[in-house]
Structures are given as structure tokens and as C-alpha cells.
Structure 1
Amino acid sequence: MTTTPPPDHILIVDDDAGIRELAAEYLQRQGLQVSVAADGRRMREVLATQRIDLLVLDLMLPGTDGIALCRELRSPGAPPLPIIMLTARSDEADRILGLELGADDYLTKPFAARELLARIHAVLRRTRMLPPNLAVAEPARHLAFGDWRLDTTARHLLDATGAVVALSGAEYRLLRVLLDHPQRILTRDQLLQLTQGRDADVFDRSIDLLVSRVRQRLGDGARGSRYIKTVRNEGYVFCADVLPTATPKEAAA
């Protein structure tokens, strides 16, 4: 007898009770489990006691604001948790800061509940998506380039000494797409579609910010970049050779 998996559990953190309750009511009608919190203290209590699949986090919160909470949730050693940031302003600086800190997506208030639902489904789908051509039963493998290895099961980087460099979900997806298409120019629109499942607007800088963050992880500067080169007016190209390799454990067997 097959068992029905539990519904995805969404935590909405917003100090506006009206937004919290309206969004929660709509998402529950769509079959999701929803918890709510008005501030960071309550958010931490829920995260410590319940399984949460995705966090909807308001930028402007009393006490510890959404930026500080996002930074806390993306600190080394913190468990991976998809985050959609809410901002009451259309200010690009807010969106940039949230994305730089590792948010998976953002939504500007006021928003339609249907759009929030679509963003939730898209982020969950991306975070759970198997890498292309990777069978479910395939053991962990690494993609090696330069002095680095990408662990495609644990979804983190390993440097030349074997030390782990943690990646956010968005950073992993971008790096994986680039490693799957080495020596090929990918436009910003293509990268946005492949990593976030949406089209770019004229002022969307999220891919540029994400590339900058991945370069920082790799110790790679924009000028004279060893791995990710900017192709002016076109996009980006991963210029190093990429080799699928056995994991250290498999290689020693």
C-alpha cells in the first residue's frame, strides 16, 4: 500500500497580521501546510520544533530584520532551507541584498496570493530537481575542475585540501549549470531559465549577482577570471575543463 507524502510545510514570517493570515489561508486551500510567525524569535521556535520545507521571510521585521535572519540562516553549518524574501519596496537594493545573502527568490509587496503560490512551487521544484541525466540510484560523484570538486549529492564544493565550501541552493544550481555546459556561452536569460525557471526583465541583475557570489566562493575575480568569464553583451562562459570523477571513497576502493 502506497502512503501519501505529507504536504509541503511553509513558514510565513511577516509582522503584518493581515498578510500573514490571508497568505496562510490561501496556501492552505491549495493543499499546503502553513505556519506563521510575526518575528525572528517565533521563527526560530518554529524551525527548532517543526519540519519546514520553505520559508517566506519579510525584509522589514521588528527587532531582528529579514536581512539579519537570512544571513543567520545561510551561515556555515546551517541546514539548507529555501527562502523567498518579501519586500514592501520595489527598491532594487533590497532585492540585490537579499539575493546576495542567499535568498532563492524575492517578491515585492503588494503581491497576489496566486503569484506567491507559483513562486513557492517553482523554488521547491528547483531545489528538489535531480541534476540532468543523473539516475536516482547513481552513487555520489564529483565534477572536478582546476583545484576544485563539486559534490553533486551533498551539493557543496571541495577545495584542493578536501575542505568543504558550503553553497546556497541558488549558488549550487548556477555552478552546476555552468559545469554541465563548459566552453559554451550562456546568456543571462538562459541562466535565469535554467536556474530559476523564469525570464529576466530589463533591470534584472540577479544572475550577475549570483555569478559574483560563485566567483567569490572560487576565489575568482571578474578580471582575469580563471573559471567564469564574462562575454560582453552576451553572457558568461565556464572556461575550465570539467571531468566527472569518482568520489575519494570510490577511488580508494
Structure 2
Amino acid sequence: MSQVRAVRTITISRPEKKNALTRVIYDDLAAAIRSADDDRSVRVICITGAQGAFTSGNDVTDFEANPPTVGGEIGPGALFAALRHVEKPVVAAVNGIAVGIGTTLLLHCDLVYAAASARFKLPFVGLGLVPEGGSTGLLPRLLGMRRASELLFFGDWIDAQKALSWGLVNDIFEDAELLAAVQSRADRLACQPGRLLRLTKRLMKQSPVSLDQRIDEELELVAQNIPQPEAQEALLALRQKRAPDFEQFEA
């Protein structure tokens, strides 16, 4: 792991197996995400893979020996629970292949950036399995039913350009530029007021409510936050014609 200002980078590192995931790696990733979320010095969490791959998905031998269990205590369930409940922004830098859970975990990240050479694959049906990670619910909402069906039914590779045009990733960078570009964006995000980032993320991830309810909830929160130090600093900076300094406040 590395720290750039208030950015915690978590790297999946098993390059000899294209970063295939084992039960131990799942548990370590979940623990690293929870630790970063609890660390008051960390504002943004970044996830990437080592040496030209994001992750090739489950290690087949380990997967057969340790099949996933329901709940969020160990294995894939622990990773998805950590991603679902993390309050701070999570940014993914996909620097190569993202197979199976390597793609479904991206659905739980807030921002996803890909290298030009990145490729994505959801091979579950062809392996005699069903998709996981909530992907049968999240992908239709994100991509639409037709595109989600194409990805999940066929399990074909899609390249970074198609992932971008379909809305699976936010942007694409040349391979050599990816990590620096993502770190720059994460660093910029870390300069935003952490409490307001967490609050905004919580609102976006809440269960759907009526538009009228959401407008009222937002207006109430706006009123509550005007006297808070972050808004007061932003308004003062606006009057003084300078950039606001949010790093003085809690992450």
C-alpha cells in the first residue's frame, strides 16, 4: 500500500497468477478497505492490480477448495460487504484484465478508470455458475437490460472503449499514464470536504425513494450544513477569491 496525501492505494499483488484471488486475498482486501475507512487520515481509497493485471478472478483451485459462503465474514462475501459499507470514495484503476469478480467488484466502486489495454469478462454462465456481487441487479440499472444480458449471457471479452461507451468505466488512459492519472484524480478528490463526500455517497447509494422525498431530504441537509465549518470555509473562500482549504477538516 502507498499513501499519496490522503489517498490509500490498495494493490492486488499476485502477479505470477495474474492477481487471481484466494480466500486469504479476499479477506486481506476486505480488511484493508475497512482499515482505510476507519483511518481518519485517509480520504480516498484506490484499488488497483500489480504488474499489468487488475485480477483474473477466482483462483480455480482455491475456489473449489473454499467455495463462497453466504454472509460477509470471509471470502468474496467479506470483500463485497466491505465495499458496500465503506463510507469514503473508492476509486478503481483497472490496469489489465478484469475477469469475473474483477469486474463485478467495480460495480461497487464510485469511480472506475481503465488502461487502454484493459479488458473485461463475466464468464459465469459458461462456467456453470450464476453471476455474483449483485451484478444481476446492478448491471441492468447501470447499462440497461440489453447490454447487461449480452455481458452476462455470452461472457465475451469487452475492451476498454466499449466499457467506456457503455458506462462501465469513467475514462480511459494510456497504459503508462493510468496510475499517475488516477492518483491525480484521487488526490484532487481528497481535497474535497470528506464529510460531505461521505454524505453525498450515502444519499446516492440509499434505496430508491420518490423524487419529492429526495428533494425534501436534500434541502433539509443543505440547510443543516450551511452553518457547518466546511460550508463556512467555502463561502469565506468565495468572498476572498481563493481556493477553499478543506484539508483542515476531518476526513
Q: Comparing both chains, which one has the higher relative contact order based on Cα–Cα distances under 8 Å and sequence gaps of 6 or more?
A: 2
Please state which structure has a larger fraction of its residues in helix: 2
Q: What TM-score, normalized by structure 2, do the two folds share?
A: 0.32
Answer 1 or 2: which has greater strand percent: 1
* TM-score using structure 1 length: 0.32
